[in-house]
Amino acid sequence: MLKFYNTLNHKTEEFKPIKANEVGLYTCGPTVYNFAHIGNLRTYIFEDILRRALVFAGFKVKHVMNMTDVGHLSGDQDFAEDKMEKEGGSAAEIMALAKKFTRAFLEDSNTLNILQADIIAPATEHIPEQVDLIKILLEKGFAYETELAIYFDVPKFPNYSRLSGQKIEDKKVGARSDVVIDPNKKHPADFALWFKLAGRYKNHILRWESPWGLGFPGWHIECSAMSRKYLGQPFDIHTGGVDHITIHHSNEIAQSEAAFGVPLANYWLHGEHLVVNEGRMGKSEGNFITLSTLIEKGINPLAFRYLVLTSHYRSKLNFTWDSLQAAQNALNNLYEEISSFDKAEGSADQFESVFRDAINDDLNTPQALAVVWDHH
Ligand SMILES: [Zn+2]
C-alpha cells in the first residue's frame, strides 16, 4: 500500500488515484532568474523520488512542471521587484536570461539523475490561459479591479486556510518602506492576479494585452492555469517546498477552486528545507551553494543525491561539507558492494518486498537505503 503525508488533510493517507493506472503530477518549478541552489535541488530530488516511487508501484505518471519567467516578485508583498526584471534589459534580453537559466536548471537536473517532466511549461507561453482564468474569477465575484491591479478577494473564499492552517487575520500588509501599497486593496491577504502598467510597474518590460489593458500576470495564476490545461481538475498530486504552503499553494487552491468549484489536487506533498550549518541559505548569507560549487570541489553530484536520500523529505536536512564527504564515501562503498554482489545469494523477492514497504511508506528513503545496505 502506497501512502503519503497529505498536507491538505494534515495526515498520512493511502494513495488513491483518480484513474486506475495513470497519475497526474504537478511540481512547482524554478523562477529562472538565477542558478538553482542545492536547497532548491533537494526539493526536485524529493519530487523525482516521488515520481519513481509511483512508477515502481505500477502507475504511469504524467508529470508537469512550470518555469516562472515573469511575475515572481522578490518579496511576498505585491509591488516588490519582479525577479526576472531585476537586471534590467530589453524584453529579448530578459527572455534570453530565462532561457539560459532554464537550460542550466535542466542540466543540473540531468546531472542529479532527475527525470525530466513530460511537459515543461513557461509562464510567458501561457498568458491567454491565465487571462481567461482571471476573467472567470471576476465574473464569479472572487476578484476585483483597482487602478493598479486585479486582486483575488481572499475573504470571499472560505477554504483559504485549509492547507496552511493559518488564519487570514494573521496576514499583515507589507511594512517595507520601499513597497508601494495599493490603497484600494481591500484585505492584506488579497493577492494580485494581474498587474497593470501603472505605479511601480509603469515601465515593466514584459507586458501583454488583456481586457484590463497592458500588463503582466501575478506569480500564482500560472500554476492554476497550466495545471488545469495539462492535467485537468482535480488532478492527483501537487508538490513543492514547505515555503510554498502559506502563500503560493494556498493562492493556487483559492484561484482554481473558486473558478471551477472542484478541488485543484487531491494530494499535496511538501519537501522540507535544506539548511547550511543550521542556518538559512541565500545570497545575502554568503552561502549560496550551487551544483557547480560541489563539482568544482571534486564531489560526485550523485553524492549530493545520496545525502538527500539519507534524510526523510519531511525533515530538515542540515548540509555540512563533512556530511557531503561522508555521503561520497558511502556511495563509493555502495558501488563496490554492488559490483561484487552475488545474485544467487538470498531471496530477491524478499529483498524487494522490504524495500517496497520502505519506499511506499511516505517515501522513507533512509529506511530504503538501510535495506540496500543490509542485503548482502
Ligand atoms: Zn506553483
CA distance 201 to 212: 14
The Å distance, Cα 95 to ligand 1 centre, comes to 20
Q: How far is the CA of 52 from the centre of ligand 1 (A)?
A: 21
pLDDT for the residue numbered 171: 64
- What's the CA-to-centroid distance between 298 and ligand 1, angstroms? 34
Contacts of 144 (CB under 8 A, 6+ apart): 138, 150, 151, 153, 186
DSSP-derived secondary structure for 162-221: TTT---GGG------TTSPPPTT---TT-EEEEEES-GGGTT-SS-B--TTSSEEE-STH
Contact between 167 and 161 under an 8 Å Cβ cutoff? The reply is yes
- The pLDDT assigned to 132 comes to 98
Q: Which helix (H) or strand (E) holds 336?
A: helix 321-339
The CA 181 to ligand 1 mean position distance, Å, reads 24
Distance CA 367, CA 359 (A): 8
How far away, in angstroms, is 69 Cα from ligand 1 center?
A: 12
pLDDT tens digit sequence for 272-309 = 999 997 777 766 666 789 999 999 999 999 999 999 99
pLDDT at 175: 38
Distance 346 CA to ligand 1 centre (A): 45
What average pLDDT does the structure give for the chain? 91
Q: Which of 261, 260, 238, 232 is nearest to 250 (CA)?
A: 238
Instruction: Please state whether the peptide bond connecting residue 234 to the residue before it is cis, i.e. omega within 30 degrees of 0.
Output: yes
pTM score: 0.93
| CA 29 – ligand 1 centroid, Å | 7
What are the distances in angstroms from CA 60 to CA 21, 117, 267?
6, 13, 17
Q: Cell numbers of 225, please?
A: 492555469
8 Å CB contact between 218 and 80: no
For residue 169, how far is its CA from the centre of ligand 1 (angstroms)?
A: 23
C-alpha 223 – ligand 1 centre gap (Å): 5
Ligand 1: centre distance to CA 368 (Å): 29
CA of 312 to the centre of ligand 1 (A): 22
| pLDDT at 177 (0 to 100) | 37
